[in-house]
Amino acid sequence: MGSTPRRGDTRQRIQDVALELFAERGYEKTSLREIAEHLEVTKAALYYHFKTKEDIVLSLFQDLGRPLDELIVWGEQQPRTLETKLELLRRYSAALDIGEPLMRFMQENQATVRELSIGQIFKNRMFAMSALIRDPEAPMVDQVRSVTALFSMHARMFALQAIEGNAEDKRKAVLEVALDLVKQAHASSAHG
């Protein structure tokens, strides 16, 4: 019917459009007017579904961040073995795929995120992930290796654009490098 008014899913649609625009043009530069226009509703309609602009981000963070939270919970229940760490990386890679726009938004709007109420939550998550992957007793080089493994997986969103090849191949290569880094960290620490 062309402009059939979707009922009930407006909240979802707001989130979709908002995330897309936030990731693409930045949180501050994306106005509620733009979001409303993309959805062909009025700004006031947004306020029926969300209390504030920040609230939209918050909801995105909560909804899309769940996989990561679950991953952390899972990780904390596993034995601290090498295999656990490798599996954590594999699952993290998969989680990044799904939550890519959110991650891109976080990555590209760090300064903004820090001021938002989610800032701390986000930081905590990252610390938790980092705590699962590295061994605080290990030599610093090995800890750096582990954190780099984690961090490097974010690189595929932009730093790897220079490299030719399809996205799936890159994803695999990045994961391989990350797994390698953790293995090296583990091996080295085991010797010490």
Partner DNA sequence: CATGAATGAGTCTTCATTCAT
Partner DNA sequence: CATGAATGAAGACTCATTCAT
Q: Per the structure block, which two tokens stand in for 134?
A: 């590295």
C-alpha radius of gyration, the chain, whole number: 19
| Partner touching 19 among its own copies, DNA, none, CB below 5 to 8 Å by kind | none
**Nearest Cα residue to 65 out of 43, 92, 44:** 92
Q: How far is the CB of 81 from its own copies (least distance, A)?
A: 21
**Is residue 30 at the binding interface for DNA, with CB under 7 A as the rule?**
yes
**Nearest Cα residue to 115 out of 33, 56, 27:** 27
73 touches 132 (CB < 8 A):
no
Binding mask 59-98 for its own copies (x = CB under 8 A): ----------------------------------------
| Partner touching 144 among DNA, its own copies, none, CB below 5 to 8 Å by kind | its own copies
**Nearest Cα residue to 70 out of 99, 50, 32:** 99
| Partner touching 131 among DNA, its own copies, none, CB below 5 to 8 Å by kind | its own copies
Rounded to an integer, what distance in angstroms lies between the CA atom of residue 29 and that of residue 185? 41
Binding mask 31-60 for DNA (x = CB under 7 A): xxxx------xxxxx-xxx-xxxx------
Binding site for DNA (CB under 7 A): 5, 7-8, 10, 30-34, 41-45, 47-49, 51-54
